Amino acid sequence: MAEKMKSPSVPSPIGESVPRLDALQKVTGEAVFTDDLQFGADLLYGRILRSPHPHARIKRLDASKALALPGVKALVTGDDCKDRFGLYLKDRYTFCKDRVRYVGDPVAGIVATSERLAEQACRLVEVEYEVLEPVLDPVQGAQDGAPLLHPNLKEYIVAPFIFPQHGSNISNYFKLRKGDVEGAWSKCNVIVEGAYRVPHVQHVPIEPHITVAKFDHSGNVTLWASSQSPFAQRDLIAGSLGISPNRVRVISSFVGGGFGSKAGVSMEALAVMMAQKVPGHPVKVRLTREEEFYCSFVRQGLVSNIKIGADEDGTLLAMQTEFYWDAGAYTEYGVNITRAAGYSCTGPYDVPNVWSDSYCVYTNHPVGGPMRGFGMPEIHWGIEQTMDQVAQKLGMDEKEFRLKNCIREGSITPTGSKMHALDLESCILKAAEAIDWGKQEPASAPHKRRGKGIAIMWKAPAMPPNAGSSSIVRFNEDGTVSVGIGGQELGQGSHTVAAQIAAATLGVPMDSIRISYPVDTQYSPYEWQTVASRLTWSMGNAIREAALDARRQILELAAEHWDEQPDDLDLHDGQVISYKSERSEPLKNLVVYGLPKEDDSGWRGGPIIGRGMFMPNYVSALDPETGQGPRAVVHFTPGCQAVDLEVDIETGQITLLRVSSAFDVGKAINPDQVRAQMEGGVVQGASTTLLEHLRLENGVPVNPNFTDYRIASTVDMPLKTIPIIVEVPQDDGPWGARGIGEHSMVPTAPAIANALADAVGLRIHDLPLSAERVFKALRDKEAAT
């Protein structure tokens, strides 16, 4: 069938304008951001015409009326796109070429002298679509005979550790086989099976996506973006344009919240393509809040099937998992989430026999991508509820069951590698103790029920084996230090930790450290991406190496000047000191201009610049048939959360009384920030557990706003959060540190679900645990009895 856009039942294909507050008025009366003034009178604006259909073929596009509007400068469509782009799988064009694959897919871009005019012009573009059958469920989409969303999948360029299944909607299939699962089931005294669902949710950062792009007349590109991945954006955008990365410059200042939504490339490529049509003019593109909900990355949905068996003593013997990831229309990032789920499929348990299949499935839903936890909150939702039921069937305390079976140093992971040093047992004990585990406590009212639950987790940085970091440490004339990095500050405190590491290594006061900013790919040292909770560990190692390099130069210079050995010298409080001769010299006297030789015969030394880099060189490939290999990941961070809650049986409302979080972070470089990450993770985890769900009806988002899509506010927060730091040093981290940023929201949902089951005897398998869902389940349970 053919029809003209747009259907009134779907969100506007170009979004709705949001009033711009701190604005000045042009002579025309058009509102502009004050920040727009930095780009001058040449600044143009772009708006995107988006698909109103989840799946359709583009039959005809006529933009003649739009282009006739005074002030409209350019049109961009899929005909202007050269190559596909993507981080792990190059499966998308910047603008759709022949078909649209989700509501919101970019069909055309209009460049005009104002945003309002660009929106008006978008409404004049006529598009004729042939509506196609959509794929709206990942299990359905993975079956033979399902409509193929990417018929040319076999032509796509893909990373060597991603395995698309040609002729299907499966863009990655990760298999893991360990031991003899089939033989183990007969030895199990208890076997529990369950199916679980996790919906799409949105990151909802305070700052929406916004970017400005400019092509100069020499063909060089400058992109100003709110980005977690300036260097990855440079590489991917250059590849899509068919130009060298040295022709693309990405500048990114502080990011107003990311959580994964601003990793890789999403809408930034749109602005670049539009700017290419108007050389010399910067083009600004921003997502409205409505667009932010379904036109940027969403967290992938998941359907999981879990089967776990244990013997009569409570020892785990076998585990089988099946993960169907609702990855959306394009899976260039989602394929690696599928892989991470596969090699983490047991959760933090020592299981000798494991069988896991993890499928990344194309659907006609918004594009799935990275979100805080990178697949781990989703898989632990089912795993940890099933573990609770195994323990209960055995008559074991849920805490003791986890202590018996949790991963330990020397345990063999699902991929066959030996576990590094960690202390998950202490995490379990401390988290349980903090909420008085085992103590029955009364509810606050007759119509309320109280319960306690526990859940454990693990997570590794999900990244390529060669993801690197680099840093430059440069002394200034007054002895202060400029530290160059490529990692981003998203509010997580990475710059504070960077300054701490540099200051501690150099022996200078922390207030003398300046982090060079903004990140600018033309001048900043390389950083793969600000994702995977890896900056303290990876970038921290690079900073330490750069500072050690600068430190070595200073000590060698002073040793030569004093005729002593570098081993007799040290740096302390901004001075180089000698333990042998007890001499000292302020660093500001030597780090730029050097030191004079005797008898005025010249100078020695010169500007001190330290260089450092870090890249793990020990991560191995995994067998594509079994998922086995010497070392699948750099490390795991484990942890535990325990929840004490009340349920109002008259409304279904859950109130979180106490949530304790204990994580083995290796070494807490900044304990206050570590505790803050734990607290923030609890709140975000509770929000996705109790409230959040991007509702899609036949592929159409129906709640892309804060009226209908609720996130946690102060009234939804736990009455008490208890962060607990456990430290067992990581062998390759700076001072033993490893990441914690994402981990603290991973076990929150199953811990709440387990506490809910303890309180009212309900086992709910689908998120969110909204008051409505809990109330209905309570009534259904009451009716059944």
Q: What pLDDT, on a 0 to 100 scale, did the predictor assign at position 111?
A: 98
What distance in Å separates the CA atoms of residue 540 and residue 737, rounded to the nearest whole number? 9
- Residue 358's closest CA among 152, 194, 138? 138
What distance in Å separates the CA atoms of residue 590 and residue 150, rounded to the nearest whole number? 62
Q: What pLDDT, on a 0 to 100 scale, did the predictor assign at position 785?
A: 85
Identify the three-state secondary structure at position 720. Answer: strand
Domain for residue 173, yes or no?
Answer: no
Domain for residue 197, yes or no?
Answer: no
E strands, 730-775, are none
Domain for residue 327, yes or no?
Answer: yes
Render pLDDT for 184-227 as a digit per residue (tens, 0 to 9): 999 999 999 999 999 999 999 999 999 999 999 999 999 999 99
Q: Does residue 378 share a domain with residue 331?
A: yes
Residue 283 is encoded by which pair of tokens? 């083009």
Work out the pLDDT band at 12, boundaries 50, 70, 90: low
Is 25 a residue whose pLDDT tops 70? no
Domain tally, the chain: 3
Q: Does residue 447 share a domain with residue 359?
A: yes
- Cβ within 8 Å of residue 152, ≥6 positions away: none
Work out the pLDDT band at 257, boundaries 50, 70, 90: very high
Q: What pLDDT, on a 0 to 100 scale, did the predictor assign at position 14?
A: 52
Q: What pLDDT, on a 0 to 100 scale, did the predictor assign at position 38?
A: 85
Q: What average pLDDT does the chain have?
A: 95
Strand partners, 48: 109
Share above pLDDT 90 across residues of the chain, in percent, rounded to a whole number = 94
* Contact (CB, 8 A) for 118 and 309: no
Domain for residue 566, yes or no?
Answer: yes
Q: Does residue 695 share a domain with residue 557?
A: no
Render pLDDT for 80-127 as a digit per residue (tens, 0 to 9): 999 999 999 999 999 999 999 999 999 999 999 999 999 999 999 999
What distance in Å separates the CA atoms of residue 417 and residue 411, rounded to the nearest whole number? 8
- Residue 519's closest CA among 246, 231, 212? 231
Is 11 a residue whose pLDDT tops 90? no
Domain for residue 295, yes or no?
Answer: no
Q: What pLDDT, on a 0 to 100 scale, did the predictor assign at position 713?
A: 95
Select from 286, 315, 350 the last residue of a domain.
286
Is 690 a residue whose pLDDT tops 60? yes
Q: Does residue 49 share a domain with residue 18?
A: no
What distance in Å separates the CA atoms of residue 411 and residue 351, rounded to the nearest whole number? 9
Q: Tokens 């909204």 identify what position?
A: 770
74 to 42, 43, 684: CA distances (angstroms): 14, 13, 41
- Residue 270's closest CA among 335, 209, 336, 207? 209
Instruction: Tell me the one-letter amino acid at 526.
Output: Y
Q: What is the tally of helices (H) and strands (E) in the chain?
A: 16, 36
What distance in Å separates the CA atoms of residue 717 and residue 709, rounded to the nearest whole number? 17
Strands 569-572 and 575-578, by their bridges, are antiparallel
Domain for residue 625, yes or no?
Answer: yes
The mean per-residue pLDDT over the stretch 613-639 comes to 97
Q: What is the CATH number of the domain that holds 500?
A: 3.30.365.10
Work out the pLDDT band at 170, boundaries 50, 70, 90: very high
Q: What pLDDT, on a 0 to 100 scale, did the predictor assign at position 36?
A: 74
Work out the pLDDT band at 305, boundaries 50, 70, 90: very high
* Contact (CB, 8 A) for 545 and 498: no
Q: Does residue 543 share a domain with residue 418?
A: no
Q: What pLDDT, on a 0 to 100 scale, did the predictor assign at position 412?
A: 98
* Contact (CB, 8 A) for 84 and 93: yes
**Range of lowest pLDDT (110-114, 253-257, 652-656):** 253-257
Q: What pLDDT, on a 0 to 100 scale, did the predictor assign at position 24?
A: 34
Q: Does residue 452 share a domain with residue 353?
A: yes
Q: What pLDDT, on a 0 to 100 scale, did the predictor assign at position 35?
A: 61
pTM comes to: 0.95
Work out the pLDDT band at 380, boundaries 50, 70, 90: very high
* Contact (CB, 8 A) for 317 and 353: yes
463 to 11, 59, 333, 339, 634: CA distances (angstroms): 35, 39, 11, 10, 9
Domain that holds residue 70: 34-132+209-286
Is 182 a residue whose pLDDT tops 90? yes
Strand partners, 661: 641, 723
Name the residue with higher pLDDT: 40 or 628: 628
What distance in Å separates the CA atoms of residue 453 and residue 455, rounded to the nearest whole number? 7
**Range of lowest pLDDT (19-33, 739-753, 761-775):** 19-33
Domain for residue 427, yes or no?
Answer: yes
* Contact (CB, 8 A) for 45 and 111: yes
Q: Does residue 433 share a domain with residue 495?
A: no
Q: Does residue 457 share a domain with residue 361?
A: yes
Domain for residue 262, yes or no?
Answer: yes
Q: What pLDDT, on a 0 to 100 scale, did the predictor assign at position 599?
A: 85
Share above pLDDT 70 across residues of the chain, in percent, rounded to a whole number = 96
Helices 334-343 and 376-394: angle between axes, nearest 10 degrees: 30
Q: Does residue 406 share a domain with residue 445?
A: yes
Select from 253, 286, 319 the last residue of a domain.
286
Q: Does residue 420 share a domain with residue 311?
A: yes
Residue 33 is encoded by which pair of tokens? 């951001």
- Residue 550's closest CA among 617, 607, 594? 607
Q: Does residue 523 share a domain with residue 609?
A: yes
Q: What pLDDT, on a 0 to 100 scale, did the predictor assign at position 16?
A: 45
Select from 286, 316, 347 the last residue of a domain.
286
- Residue 50's closest CA among 112, 6, 98? 6
Render pLDDT for 440-452 as a digit per residue (tens, 0 to 9): 999 999 999 999 9
Render pLDDT for 426-445 as a digit per residue (tens, 0 to 9): 999 999 999 999 999 999 99
* Contact (CB, 8 A) for 548 and 612: yes
Render pLDDT for 513-560 as a digit per residue (tens, 0 to 9): 999 999 999 999 999 999 999 999 999 999 999 999 999 999 999 999
- Cβ within 8 Å of residue 689, ≥6 positions away: 748, 749, 752, 753, 767, 768, 769
Q: What is the CATH number of the domain that holds 119?
A: 3.90.1170.50
Q: Does residue 25 share a domain with residue 123?
A: no
Burial of 519 from C-beta contacts in 10 A (0-12 / 13-18 / 19+): buried
